[in-house]
Homo-oligomer: A and B are copies of this chain.
Amino acid sequence: MAEVTQEATTESRKVDHIRINLNENVNFPHLTTGLERYRFMHTAVPELDLNEVDSSVSLFGKTLNAPLLISSMTGGAELARRINQNLAIAAQEHGIAMGLGSQRAAVEDPDLVKTFQVRQYAPDILLFANLGAVQLNYGYGPDQCRRAVDMIEADALILHFNVLQEAVQPEGDTNFAGLLKQVEKVTKEVGVPVIAKEVGWGFSERDVRNLANAGVAAIDVAGSGGTSWSEVEYHRAPTSFHAKVARSFADWGIPTADAILYAKAGAPQHPVIASGGLRDGIDVAKCIALGATIGGLAGPFLKAANESVEAVNELIRELVAQIRIAMLCSGANSIQALQETKLYKD
């Protein structure tokens, strides 16, 4: 019976997360991504043809048509399966990358595996598996990681770090001691590149240095300013005590713009995935100009995927157009040129 309850809990938790993210305001109340502090220098005479602007980029040996990632979100429930399917079809159509939500439930319950499997809809995309890093302190190791990767034929594995989310939850997994050693074991044995990812509070420069030393291949900063997971947990809090504790951390974290700079400082040679609060293609372009290789969005894709494949397609088309026009109007004809573009601050 215990397992059954556990599964039920997982399913309802997953649906809770989706419901709260769709219906409640889960933005940071005051903290912003910091991207609004940066501006492109407009060029009126770019000497470029918009049609020749090249927005493609390579990561882990695959080429994306645009520097875009649908960030890890869901799985483990029927609603989640449909969302993943919609996302995958559109990602394939546009040639962009995609991550799946934490696969722990499926690692533990084979019945849930199908809610994560999207390869049939997206045979060519760069696809990321996902597990919570802290599980490595609760019995997980390279084997479970391997299972998550294989289950979805992923190109790489994301280990997400969510210490604050665990800490504000009633029974959160809050033992983060000695985790770097466990991560190192995984990076050595799992056989695919490992990406360390936050979930909305960013990494410090020291975190990034430590993770690079532990063998991770890339950093997804998932900084502050977009979806706030302490606010999500606030909306799920079972008691006023938990609600107040979660609420007090509503503006905690490292703004995404700062987190990108920390990541480049801590691991200058590692590709950086920028995410956390990116809301249009200009945001993505700014992140790349700050040093990122691609940019990821979660919240906006959730809303679109909850509607239809066509809504996701339209969102991607908008993002791509915005990125390309931002490139044109700042004189960058390739992602590399964009990475070398200097932003200025007001």
A48 CB to closest chain B CB (Å) equals 6
Tell me the bound Cα distance from A167 to B46 in angstroms: 12
A180 close to chain B: CB less than 8 A: yes
Tell whether A176 pairs with B47 under 8 Å between CB atoms, given A168-B325, A245-B325: yes
A45 and B164 within 8 A (CB): no
B51 and A175 within 8 A (CB): yes
When distances are taken between beta carbons in the complex, the residues of chain B under 8 Å from A180 are 45, 47
The oligomer's copy count stands at 4
A110 close to chain B: CB less than 8 A: no
A282 and B49 within 8 A (CB): no
Q: What 1/0 flags go to A33-54 for Cβ under 8 Å of B?
A: 0000000111111111111100
Tell whether A43 pairs with B206 under 8 Å between CB atoms, given A245-B322, A329-B167: yes
Number of A residues, CB within 8 Å of B: 56
A90 close to chain B: CB less than 8 A: no
Within 8 A of B (CB), among A188-205: 198, 201-204
Tell whether A282 pairs with B248 under 8 Å between CB atoms, given A45-B179, A52-B177, A174-B49: yes
Tell me the bound Cα distance from A50 to B170 in angstroms: 13
Tell whether A203 pairs with B45 under 8 Å between CB atoms, given A50-B167, A50-B175, A318-B245: yes
When distances are taken between beta carbons in the complex, the residues of chain B under 8 Å from A178 are 47
When distances are taken between beta carbons in the complex, the residues of chain B under 8 Å from A41 are 204, 254
B163 and A44 within 8 A (CB): yes
A101 close to chain B: CB less than 8 A: no
B44 and A203 within 8 A (CB): yes
Tell me the bound Cα distance from A43 to B266 in angstroms: 13
A95 CB to closest chain B CB (Å) equals 19
Q: Which residue from B40, B162, B201, B241 sits with its C-beta under 8 Å from A318?
A: B241
Tell whether A282 pairs with B249 under 8 Å between CB atoms, given A44-B161, A167-B325, A254-B42: yes
Tell whether A241 pairs with B48 under 8 Å between CB atoms, given A42-B201, A204-B43: no
A230 CB to closest chain B CB (Å) equals 10
Q: Which residue from B207, B245, B252 sits with its C-beta under 8 Å from A45?
A: B207
B210 and A45 within 8 A (CB): yes
A325 and B210 within 8 A (CB): no
Tell me the bound Cα distance from A211 to B46 in angstroms: 12
A259 CB to closest chain B CB (Å) equals 9
Within 8 A of B (CB), among A230-266: 240-241, 244-245, 248-249, 252-254
Listed from nearest, the 7 A-B pairs whose CB atoms lie closest are: A50-B174, A44-B161, A49-B175, A49-B177, A248-B280, A167-B325, A45-B207
10 contacts between A and B (CB under 8 A): A42-B202, A42-B253, A44-B198, A44-B202, A47-B180, A51-B175, A241-B314, A248-B281, A249-B329, A252-B282
